[in-house]
Amino acid sequence: MIYASSSSYISSFQPETNFGNSKTISTGSSNIDCYKRNIYRTLIKFDISKIPFNFEKIFLYLYVEEVKYQCINNVISIYKNTENFDALTVTWNDAPNFIETQIEFKLDNSSLKKYNEFNITDLVIEWINSPDPNFGITIKGGESNNNLSSSTYSSIAKFSSVNGRNSPYISSIACSCVCPTGPTGSTGLTGATGATGPQGARGITGPTGVTGSQGNIGPQGAIGPTGSTEPISGYGFFANTSQFVNASVLGANITFPNVDVSTANININGTGDIITLTETGVYQVDYNLYLGTGVSLLTTIQLRLNGTVIPGSQSFISVGLSAESNIVGQAIFQANTGAQLTLFTTGILTLGLVNTNSAAITITKIV
């Protein structure tokens, strides 16, 4: 199957207009009025170099989109072009000349909306055997002026073009005959020795040899320069220098209202119990609690980020303490801008005055 390489049509009523981008190609004629007639002709090209050499027959296939016949003059003829044309520029005024091929066919309503087959074997053989180039075909039909008295007379066939969904194409039937094998020819003379060919590709790598004995240890290299130390990009130290007592079993935030040494990106609120981290990053938190006497059973200390316990940051006190003691904790975590950090206690807790502070917390932005 070889699809048409290009197609167009021309109109005598529009002699300077090109229709190379049309989705249909027209053949035939229609009355403009009782004195004028518009004639349409279709032009198609095929690349015959793609036809197999062993063909027996060649057929042209045209998909018929529309047929208008108001008189019985529906013979359509195929002509061989003797001049070249460009489908995207050709008009009625510069259309190629052509000669007859004796290939004719008829269309009617039964031809609609399907491919119709036409034998063009003789034309293709003539193209192949001719020294002249293949300039394609012109299709004419229904151009006779038999009924000018009727302004509505028309005899038009429209085919799908190379721009349409059903492009024209040609197809071949291969010859089924088998030609006999000819006699073997005599052996020719031995040719001259050819030039030495290029060097071949490198061969594959051979197997790895046995590992040799270990050499002596070389001298120690020079000490490299000291690496740079990244500055801390944020810090905060907050402390409670008075006694803190939580008497609620529901728990409460431990407060740090008395000491505030911090950078602008780590802030504590007015009540001293919520620390806000204003920059996204990785933070390290260390806290110290100085416990007074009277701690109840099952008291829990938690670091919370946005109200959620930071994994691994909980401390549990499961026995009552009658003497003062110290609890420390640490956590490293990722926080987003605006995150809120609290140190939360559940159960009854008393933080007493030991070494000045009852509670202290340090936050360092490490990344």
What is the DSSP secondary-structure string of 84-103? ---TTT--GGGPPPEEEEEE
Per-residue pLDDT of the chain (367 residues; tens, 9 = 90+): 999 999 999 999 999 999 999 999 999 998 877 678 899 999 999 999 888 888 899 999 999 999 887 544 568 999 999 999 999 999 999 999 999 999 998 888 888 999 999 999 999 999 998 888 899 999 998 786 554 444 446 788 999 999 999 999 999 887 665 556 778 888 989 989 989 989 988 889 889 888 888 888 878 878 878 755 567 889 999 998 887 666 555 778 989 998 888 898 999 999 999 999 999 999 999 998 876 655 445 678 889 999 999 998 888 765 555 456 678 899 999 999 999 999 998 766 555 544 456 789 999 999 9
Handedness of CA 80, 83, 86, 90 (dihedral sign): negative
> Does an H or E element contain 121, and which?
helix 121-129
Cα 297 from Cα 299, distance rounded (Å): 6
Report CA 87 to chain centroid distance, whole Å: 34
- Tell me the C-alpha distance between 321 and 324, whole Å: 7
User: From CA 137, how far away is CA 217, in angstroms rounded?
Assistant: 89
Sign of CA dihedral 110, 115, 118, 123: positive
Count the neighbouring beta carbons within 10 Å of the beta carbon of residue 343: 22
Assigned token pair, 135: 């300039």
In angstroms, the CA 226 to CA 203 distance is 49
Place of tokens 């000291």: 226
At residue 88, φ and ψ (nearest 5 deg) are -90, 0
Write the single-letter amino acid at 284: Q
At 125, which helix (H) or strand (E)? Answer: helix 121-129
**pLDDT score, position 312:** 87
Distance CA 12, CA 159 (A): 18
The pLDDT tens digits of the residues spanning 337-367 come to: 999 999 998 766 555 544 456 789 999 999 9
**Distance linking the first and last C-alpha atoms of the chain:** 69
With beta carbons less than 8 A apart as the criterion, state whether 282 and 251 touch: no
pLDDT of residue 324: 61
The number of beta carbons lying within 10 Å of the beta carbon of residue 116 is: 17
CB–CB of 175/53 below 8 Å?
no
Look at residue 2 and give its three-state secondary structure.
Answer: strand
pLDDT the model gives residue 355: 46
Closest by CA position to 22, among listed 38, 36, 42, 39: 42
Please work out, in degrees rounded to the nearest 5, the angle formed at the alpha carbon of residue 120 by the alpha carbons of 115 and 125.
145
Instruction: Please give the helix or strand (H or E) that residue 51 lies within, else none.
Output: none
The C-alpha atoms of residue 314 and residue 343 are separated, in whole angstroms, by: 10
| pTM assigned to the model | 0.47
Q: Strand 252-253 to strand 359-365: parallel, antiparallel, or no bridges (unpaired)?
A: unpaired
Hey, what are 17's tokens?
């207009």
- Each residue's pLDDT tens digit, 245-274: 665 557 789 899 988 888 989 999 999 999
Q: Which of 358, 341, 367, 332 is nearest to 267 (CA)?
A: 341
Query: How many CB atoms neighbour CB 285 within 10 A?
Result: 21
